[in-house]
Structures are given as structure tokens and as C-alpha cells.
Structure 1
Amino acid sequence: MDLNLDTQDRKILAELTENARIPIAELARRVGLSKTPVALRIKHLEEIGLITGYRAILSPLKLGLTHVTYVEVSMNDTREHALQQFNAAVRAIPEIEECYMIAGSCDYLMKVRSRDMADFRRILAEKISVLPHVSNTSSHVSMEAVVEQNWTAI
């Protein structure tokens, strides 16, 4: 999909990615346009689905969620109905920060945040291992976040 973004659109997106609460007047000043064209460009970027929303980004560390584990999940059934059941059940577990269906030695890869190893062990036993159609899991504990960011490359 070719979005035909010009330099001004890219500047607006870069600024909004850094601070979505920036006042239109300040945003306009930074990108070198007046307020009305900036507002119209933002509205257009929202209408075409490039900007999908605005939200507060919470600090997992301040919330005490300092433990990150990546969990590989293998399924005992990969027919569409089984995948849909699994996907719906995963979405209901708040500790699963990300979950991707992947091609490779397992079927899914998920990022799980928890307070500590004991908390992760509970989440794994009580929530992840009992998900529909899970045959086995393999966990990889993160020791340090080297890069952790939202999508900003425009």
C-alpha cells in the first residue's frame, strides 16, 4: 500500500510518535506549517488508518513488572478453529504483552511480563499451559532489554 507520505507528513508522524499530546500550535511550529494544514493532515492520516489511535504508555517497571519471559508455544491442533480458540483465549490474559503466530519450530511466540520468577511460574501453570490446544511450551527468560521501543521508523 503506497501512502504517498511527503516530508511534512513524516515530520508530523515523527513528532506525534514522540509526544501524541503535543498541542497543534506547537506541532505546527515544529513542522513549519500553520495549525489548519497540520490538523487536516492529522485527520487524513487517521482516516487512511495510518494513525490508529492514541494511548498512554505505562511503565512496566514502575508497575513492578520487571520480569520478561518469551514463551514458545507448540499446538496439538493447528486447524483454523483451534487457532481461533487459542487466539481468543490468549487475548484474555493481561500478562501476555505480545503474541505472534510464527513459522518455525513452534507455533506461537509470546512475550510475558510478570513481577518475578514465582509470578511467571504461576502464570505459566495457571494461564498459559491450560490454553486450548497447547501441547508444550518452552520459556526463555530475558536478562536485559537492549532495545525496547514503539514503532517510530517512518
Structure 2
Amino acid sequence: MRAMVAPKKLAKGTLVMVGVVLDRSTPESFATFEQAIAKLKFVLDCHLVAGDFDYFLKIRVGDMEDFNRIHGEQLIALPGVRQTRTFFVMKEVVDNAPLEF
């Protein structure tokens, strides 16, 4: 069971997507990163992806200043992180839509 909570009510109204590139593409580096990212409460989703990034993160923060602090203190300090690219969401058009069969 999951509760739907309005992010702004929790002072987490800013949605940020972050592409992460690791310094090595090995099973060990992926596993180490995944164990570390799973402990971060501000990360809503973490997906291993194909393409320009190794992982794509969905993060909720209070504002840009909040993200800047988190980025500098925690994200770039994660094991194996070589590069991040940040995308601030301007408008949530479809979010968490139900899966239909």
C-alpha cells in the first residue's frame, strides 16, 4: 500500500532528474553504486539505463539551493561517480500514471 502525498505539502516541490555516469562499467562498480544510492532517502527512483548515462535518478527536493547542497555533499561523493547531468523539471505533465492492461 502507498499513500499519495502532495510534494509541496512536505516542502519537496522541486522535481529533479539526474543522469549519472560511472567511471567504470563493471558489475562490481554497478553493485557498489546501487547499494549506496538505495540508502539515500531523497532518491525516488534509480534506473540503470542504456545510452549516454549509466543511471537516471528521480529526486525530490525543496528548491534549487537544497539540490545544490545535496549534489555537492552526497551525489558526487557516491562511489564510482564520474559525472552527473541535472535536469530541473519545469512541469509534471504525467507522473506515476497507473499501469493499464
Following superposition, the deviation at residue 57 of structure 1 comes to 2.5
5+ residue gaps in structure 1?
1-53
Which structure has more relative contact order (CA 8 Å, sep 6+)? It is 2
Task: Spell out the pairing of 1:5-44 with structure 2 (5 A cutoff).
Answer: none
What is the aligned partner in structure 2 of residue 101 from structure 1?
A: 48
Aligned length: 101
How far apart are the structure 1 equivalents of 2:96 and 2:21?
A: 27
What is the aligned partner in structure 2 of residue 64 from structure 1?
A: 11
What is the aligned partner in structure 2 of residue 38 from structure 1?
A: none
Report the TM-score when normalising by structure 2: 0.93
Question: Which residue type is aligned with residue 146 of structure 1?
Answer: V
5+ residue gaps in structure 2?
none
Whether 1:55 and 2:2 are equivalent positions in the alignment is yes
What is the aligned partner in structure 1 of residue 89 from structure 2?
A: 142
How far apart are the structure 1 equivalents of 2:81 and 2:58?
A: 16
In structure 1, the residue corresponding to 2:9 is in which secondary structure?
A: coil
TM-superposition CA deviations, 1:6-58 (whole Å, max 9, x none): xxxxxxxxxxxxxxxxxxxxxxxxxxxxxxxxxxxxxxxxxxxxxxxx22232
CA RMSD of aligned residues (A): 1.1
What is the aligned partner in structure 1 of residue 33 from structure 2?
A: 86
In structure 2, the residue corresponding to 1:78 is in which secondary structure?
A: coil
What is the aligned partner in structure 2 of residue 133 from structure 1?
A: 80
* Structure 1 stretches of 4+ moved >6 Å: none
Following superposition, the deviation at residue 150 of structure 1 comes to 4.1
Aligned sequence identity (%) = 30
